[in-house]
Amino acid sequence: MDVVVIVVLVVGLALLFDFTNGFHDTANAMATPIATGALKPKVAVGLAAILNLVGAFLSTEVAKTISGGLIREGPGGVQITPTLILCGLIGAIVWNLITWLRGLPSSSSHALFGGLIGAAVVGAGFGSIDGGVLVSKILVPAVLAPITAGAVSYLATRIAYKVTRKRERDTFKRGQIFTSSLVSLAHGTNDAQKTMGVITLVLIAAGFQGGGSGPELWVIGACALAIALGTYSGGWRIIKTLGRDITDIEPAQGFAAESATTATILASTHLGFALSTTQVASGSVIGTGLGRKGATVKWSTAGKIAIGWLITIPASAVVAGVAALVAGLGPVGVIVDVVVALAVILGIFLWSRRSEARNSFHQPEPGQFVNPKKRKRKARA
Amino acid sequence: MTIDWLAFVEVVAVALVSACFIVTTFALALRLGDGTAPWRRPVSVALYAVCALAALFGVYLIIPALHGG
C-alpha cells in the first residue's frame, strides 16, 4: 500500500486523537472556576481553547520524546513502519472512546503510549522500544507526577487556609481565573505535543524527515489547532453537566490545586516527560481535598479509578497489537483495520448520543475521592 | 538502562517551590488587602504584582525560544 496513503491516514487519525484529547480535558482546567462562579462558562471555554493553542507552540520537548526517544531508531532508520504507527493510533483512539463511553476516567496520553508500544512490539519485536526512555520519561513520571501534584497541592492548600481568614477567601476566585488559564496553557504544552510527536514519528518512519529531527511548523500548527477546537467543543458538555456533580470545592482549594497542577506539568514538560494531565489534576484534587481540615479519602473510589488507569496502557496495547496482526496480512489487512476502526468510532459516537447519561466527564473532583469535613451536624445542634 | 533520577528531584523541587510561592504570595496579598491600616493596601497590591511576575517568569523559563535554550 502506498506509503503516502498511510502517512495521510496517520496524520488524519492523529489530529482526530488530538481533537478528542482537547475535548475531554477541558474540564481539568475549567470545571472548578465555572463551578465556583469565577468564570462564565463561555468565557472559560474560549479561554481554555486559546491558551491550549498558545501552549502547543511553546515547547517541543515532549514531542521529541515520542518521535525520537521511545521507539528506537536503528542503523537503517526507525524500526517502526508507518503502518504500525497507524495501528498504534487506532488502538489509542478506540480504547479512549470506549473508556469515554463507559465514563471511566482514563488518560488519553497513556492510551497513546499503550497503542504505540503494542503495535511496535507486535510488529517489530520488543527490541524496538527503548526501555530506558519508556521507564524514565513515561512510566516513572506517570506515577510520580500525580503524587508530586498531590503533595504540593496539599501543602499549598494548608498555606492558603492558614494565611487567610474566612472572609478573605472568596477573592481566591479571581486568582482562579489565572490558575485555570495556566492549567490550560500547561495542558497545551504537554498534550498537543504528543500528537506532534506521533506525526513526526510517522514522517521519519516514511522517510520524509531525517531521524532525530523535531516537528515541522505545519505539524505544530495543525496539532495546536486540533486541540484548541477540541477544547472548545468539549466545553459545551461541561456546562450541561456541571450543576450536578461538583461538590464541596472552595475557591481557595481550586486555586491551590490548579497551582500545583500547573507547576507539576510545566516542570515535567520542560524535561520532556510525557505525562497524563488528567492524572496530575486528579492528584492535585486529592491533595487539596485532604488539605482542608477534617477530610477523609474515599479509598474505594480512588482504588477503582486507579485500576482504570493501570489497565489503560495494556488495554490500548492489546487493541493496537491486534490491529498490527491484522495489518501484517498485507494491504487488505490495513484496509480492514481502518474500516473497522472507523465503524467502531462512528458506532460509539452514535451510541453516546442515545444515552444522555453519558455526560460524565472524567473530571477529577474532590467529591469522588474525598469526604469533606462534615458541617451539617453543627448547624443542627 | 540509564535513568536520570536527578531530573525527577528537579521536577518535585521546582513544582513545590513555585506552587507554594505563588499560593503564599497570593494568600498574603489577600490577607493584607483586608486590613484598614494604610500601609496594608499598597503592600497587598505589590504582592499581587509579585505573584503575577512569578507566574510570568515561570512561563518564560519554559519557552526555549525566549531564552535561547
B36 close contact with A: CB closer than 8 A: no
pLDDT at A80: 72
pLDDT per residue, tens digit, chain A (381 aa), is 578 888 898 999 999 888 878 877 776 778 778 877 788 888 888 888 898 888 888 877 777 777 777 766 554 445 678 888 899 999 998 888 887 777 666 788 888 888 988 888 887 777 777 777 777 777 888 888 889 999 999 999 999 888 888 877 888 888 888 888 888 888 888 888 888 888 888 888 788 877 667 778 888 899 999 988 888 887 666 555 543 344 467 888 889 989 999 999 888 877 777 788 888 888 888 888 888 876 666 777 677 777 777 888 899 999 999 998 888 888 888 888 888 988 988 888 788 777 654 444 444 454 555 665 554 443 333
pLDDT at A381: 39
* Residue in the structure block whose three cell numbers are 510525557: A274
Nearest C-alpha neighbor of A85 from the set A294, A345, A323: A323
Nearest C-alpha neighbor of B22 from the set B47, B59, B45: B47
C-alpha cell of residue A127? 527490541
Nearest CB among B14, B24, B30 relative to A267 is that of B14
Candidates B3, B18, B26, partner chain A, best to mutate (most A CBs within 10 A): B26
B58 close contact with A: CB closer than 8 A: yes
Does the residue A252 lie in any domain? yes
pLDDT at A310: 82
pLDDT at A141: 82
Enclosing domain of residue B10 = 5-67
Please say whether the beta carbons of B15 and A263 come within 8 A. yes
Does the residue A193 lie in any domain? yes
How many beta-carbon pairs under 8 angstroms link A with B? 114
Does the residue A375 lie in any domain? no
pLDDT at A244: 38
Please say whether the beta carbons of A255 and B26 come within 8 A. yes
ipTM metric = 0.85
- Cβ contacts of B62 on chain A, cutoff 8 Å: 58-59, 189, 266, 269-270
Distance CA A370, CA A249 (A): 11
Number of domains comprising chain B: 1
Grouping H, G, I as helix, E, B as strand and the rest as coil, residue A375 is: coil
Query: Which backbone phi and psi does A364 adopt, to 5 degrees?
Result: -75, 115
B3 close contact with A: CB closer than 8 A: yes
Put simply, the answer to whether A59 touches B63 (Cβ < 8 Å) is yes
Enclosing domain of residue A67 = 3-367
Q: Between vectors from CA A279 to CA A275 and to CA A284, what angle results, nearest 5°?
A: 115
pLDDT at A355: 61
Grouping H, G, I as helix, E, B as strand and the rest as coil, residue A69 is: helix
- Cβ contacts of B11 on chain A, cutoff 8 Å: 141, 144-145, 148, 264, 267-268, 271, 273
Please say whether the beta carbons of A114 and A313 come within 8 A. yes
C-alpha cell of residue B5? 533520577
DSSP H or E segment with residue A331: helix A331-354
B9 close contact with A: CB closer than 8 A: no
Does the residue A377 lie in any domain? no
- For B10, the closest chain A residue by CA position comes to A267
- Is the pLDDT confidence value at B50 over 80? yes
Number of domains comprising chain A: 1
Distance CA A157, CA A288 (A): 6
Q: What is the DSSP string of A240-294?
A: HHHHHH--S--HHHHHHHHHHHHHHHHHHHHTT----HHHHHHHHHHHHHHHSTT
Nearest CB among A140, A260, A269 relative to B62 is that of A269
